Structure 1
Amino acid sequence: MKTAEIKVTVELDDNNVPENILWESTDSANKEAVPVKSMMLALWDHNYKNALRIDLWTKDMSVDEMKIFFFQTLMTMGDSFLRATGETNIIEDLRDYCDHFADKMQIPRS
């Protein structure tokens, strides 16, 4: 059995607000910690049938960056849900909502 480790380091200011977030993985080609401005981690507790979440962002992440981050996260969550369930009808609805979200947030799309 192979084991991989993902490590997230959060540097906090005096008020416990994230200043820096770094992540690294034993499976990554890049062996150095990579700085990021935001993260969302969701885990499924099968015993309690409950999602466990950690959402963090650095104090220098702009609102415009956060809008793009949420848009991209919603889109990729839809992709993951489709791969996991094959539920195409609801994914079309989610993608329609994501288009609406991008329009409302004035997020440029290519």
Structure 2
Amino acid sequence: MKKAEIKLTIELDDNNVPENITWESTDAENKEALAVKSMMLALWDHNYKNSLRIDLWTKDMPVDEMKRFFYETLQTMADSFLRATGETNIVEDLRDYCAHFAEKMEITETK
């Protein structure tokens, strides 16, 4: 059986606010740690039937980038949900909401 590890490193200031977030994976082509500004980790606890989450962002994460991060996360959640369940109708609704979110947050397509 093949195994892979994902390592997250969070550097905190004196108030426990993230200053730096890096991640690396044993499966990645590039073995160097990659710096990021925000992360969302969601895990399913099948024993308790609930989600476990870690949402972190650095104190210098720009608000406009956070808006795009949420937008893209919602979009990829729709992709994942479709692959996992095949529920096309609700995924279409979620994509409609993503378009609404992008409009309200004044998010434009990146070139």
Pairwise TM-score range, normalised by the shorter structure = over 0.9
Instruction: Report how many aligned residue pairs link the two structures.
Output: 110
Runs of 4+ in 1 over 4 A off after TM superposition: none
Amino acid in structure 1 at the alignment position of 2:107: I
Q: Does 1:19 align with 2:35?
A: no
Q: Deviations over 1:55-107 (max 9, x none)?
A: 00000001100000000000000000000000000000000000000000000
Give the equivalent residue in structure 2 for 1:37: 37
Give, in whole Å, the separation in 1 of the partners of 2:46 and 2:8: 23
User: Where do residues 1-110 of structure 1 align in structure 2 (5 Å cutoff)?
Assistant: 1-109=1-109
Tell me, what secondary structure is at the counterpart of 1:3?
coil
Give, in whole Å, the separation in 2 of the partners of 1:53 and 1:84: 19
CA drift at 1:109: 1.9
Give, in whole Å, the separation in 1 of the partners of 2:16 and 2:38: 15
Tell me, what secondary structure is at the counterpart of 1:59?
coil
Amino acid in structure 2 at the alignment position of 1:27: D
Identical aligned residues as a percent: 80
Gaps of 5+ in 1: none
User: How does the TM-score come out when normalised to structure 1?
Assistant: 0.99
Gaps of 5+ in 2: none
Give, in whole Å, the separation in 1 of the partners of 2:3 and 2:93: 37
